[in-house]
Amino acid sequence: MMTKKILPALLTASFIFTSVHAAAGPQITAYAKSAVTFHTGAAYNETMGIQTQKINSLKIPKGCTGTIYSPDVSSTEDALTSANTKIAGISTLHQGMGWVVHAKNTGKTTLRYKKGSHTGKLDVEVLPALKLTALKKSAKVSGDKLYLTVKYKNGTDTAITIEGVDIGRSQILFEGEKEPSKESSEAIIPSRWIAKKVTIPAGKTKSVTVTEPVSKKGTIKKFDYPSVYLKYHNVYFSTTPDRSRAVSGVACHDTTSFAAYHK
């Protein structure tokens, strides 16, 4: 008798994304750990200590791709199919490494998974495209505090609530400090999340300012856009908005609020 299970997906806060199909837009990457269990995010290696969380559905903004890898896909009987290919299409990776889920149009559908004698399903909802643009940024030191301000534009038709800002992602560099080496710049950037709840109404702009104590003095010569933890269509995502019309990478956190995730 065939064993039936619901596929749980473990979603990570990591900001490292696979380069496969990068031109297709923001990506959520899943890794099949066993017959019907998945990890999503950058690292399949559990020893890296990346925090994960279990869910039984996947919600992806329109225009994103969800790449599902299986480390032991070797049988031609292994398959992932979509009940509605107009909402979520499926393509196969090279040499049977896995599949790519293409979020084509808003709506709900089901992915059916078969690995040997095991079967299961993963509910998928394609959300409207996540359009959050960072219009401008500024950083300064006043007294013993660092102030980082970013002005965001919500280009969607629903409110977006920013609940946290990762100031570590900005990699602030002061005058006199050396540029990081190529090796260090390619390493995983330590996060410094700061809670900051700001709701940006649909079609509006709003500035978000966060502060943290700092011992350094002088002029800031370089810094990047920070990452944000946000709520969109009742789903939580972390991403790094910049001046482009759509975000360049996204990690999904399902219904886990910033306070719950970073407690």
Q: How does pLDDT run across 186-198, given as a tens digit for each residue?
A: 456 788 999 999 9
Q: What is the pLDDT of residues 161-220, one digit of tens each?
A: 999 999 998 999 998 888 776 655 545 678 899 999 999 999 999 999 999 999 888 889
**How many structural domains compose the chain?**
2
Domain assignment present for 50: yes
Residue 2 falls within a domain, yes or no? no
CATH of the domain at 77: 2.60.40.1080
The answer to whether residue 10 is domain-embedded is no
Are residues 137 and 253 part of one domain? Answer: yes
What is the domain-level CATH number for residue 232?
2.60.40
pTM: 0.72
Look at residue 4 and tell me if it is in a domain: no
Gap between the Cα atoms of 36 and 142, Å rounded: 53
Q: Using 50, 70 and 90 to split pLDDT, how confident is the model at 262?
A: confident
Which band of pLDDT confidence, cut at 50, 70 and 90, is reported for residue 31?
A: low
pLDDT of residue 227: 92
Last residue of a domain, one of 99, 127, 155: 127
Task: Supply the mean pLDDT for the chain.
Answer: 75
Domain contains 54: yes
Residue 239's pLDDT band, with cuts at 50, 70 and 90, is confident
Q: What is the pLDDT of residue 243?
A: 81
100 and 122 both lie in a single domain: yes
20 within domain boundaries = no
Give dist(CA 30, CA 146) in Å, integer: 37
Do 191 and 117 sit in the same domain of this protein? no
**Cα–Cα separations (whole angstroms), residue 222 to 94, 174, 186:** 40, 7, 17
Boundary (domain end) residue, out of 127, 146, 172:
127
Whether 111 contacts 38, CB under 8 Å: no
Kindly state whether residues 147 and 228 are assigned to the same domain.
yes
Residue among 97, 88, 93, 73 nearest 122 (CA)? 88
Q: Are residues 107 and 171 in the same domain?
A: no
Query: Does residue 7 lie within any of the structural domains?
Result: no
Query: What pLDDT score was predicted for residue 139?
Result: 94
Residue 34 banded pLDDT, cuts 50, 70, 90: low
Task: Classify residue 61: in a domain, yes or no.
Answer: yes
Question: Which tokens belong to 78?
Answer: 């292994």
Q: How far is it, in rounded angstroms, from Cα 130 to Cα 213?
A: 32
DSSP result, the chain = --EEEE--EE---------TTGGG-SEEEEEE-SSS-EEESS---GGG-----EESEEEEETT-EEEEE-TT---TT-EEEES-TTTEEEEEPGGG-EEEEEE-SSEEEEEEEEETTEEEEEEEEEEPP--EEEEEEEEEEETTEEEEEEEEEE-SSS-EEEEEEEGGGG--EETTPPPPPHHHHTSPPPP-EEEEEEEE-TT-EEEEEEEEE----S-EEE-PPPEEEEEETTEEEEE---SSSS-S-EEE-TT--HHHHT-
Residues spanned by the domain of 94 = 38-127
Residues 242, 136 share a domain: yes
Domain final residue pick, 94, 110, 127? 127
Rounded average pLDDT over 67-80: 64
